[in-house]
Copies of this chain bind each other. A is one copy, B any other.
Amino acid sequence: MRDDPTELAEQVSAVLRHLVLLLRRTVAGQPVTSQQYAVLGSLEPGPRRMTELAEEHAVQLPTMSVQINRLEEAGLVARGSDPADARVRAVELTDEGRVRLRAVRQARIAHLSRELAALSDDERAALAVALPALAKLGRT
């Protein structure tokens, strides 16, 4: 039973917990939190409505509402309105938000690069091959 999904699942479970810790360290001390960073990332291509953002980040609408409140107070995003439908709010990055996003992304990439540099070539190669599978995992 080498391909037993249960056995594999146990290992994946253990690794998941491990990655949570890694992520915590990757994000520690940065000027935006992990979730804020993720939301800023969603806004990079252009304005989005609240409902879209909430769905994309798998949270309820009120959660995203509060999240955007904080980002707005910080001056990183702005709430606009949709001329076609006055109920929807079009959230977009401010210039400062765009700058901040880039800076944080740089820092995160740099941190992860350092971690990855500690691996062997074979390990990095294995990782590269497995990433698509990992990416597929959530999208059941």
Contact = CB atoms under 8 A, between A and B. Distances in A.
Interface of A: 3, 5-6, 8-26, 34, 38, 41, 57-58, 108-110, 112-119, 121, 123-138, 140
16 contacts: A5-B117, A5-B124, A9-B113, A12-B116, A12-B127, A12-B131, A19-B134, A19-B137, A21-B57, A21-B138, A22-B137, A22-B138, A115-B138, A119-B136, A123-B132, A126-B129
B15 A131 contact: yes
Closest 4 interchain pairs by CB? A130-B130, A123-B133, A9-B112, A22-B138
B115 A19 contact: no
A42 B8 CA distance: 20
Contacts of A16: 19, 22-23, 26
Contacts of A131: 11-12, 15, 130
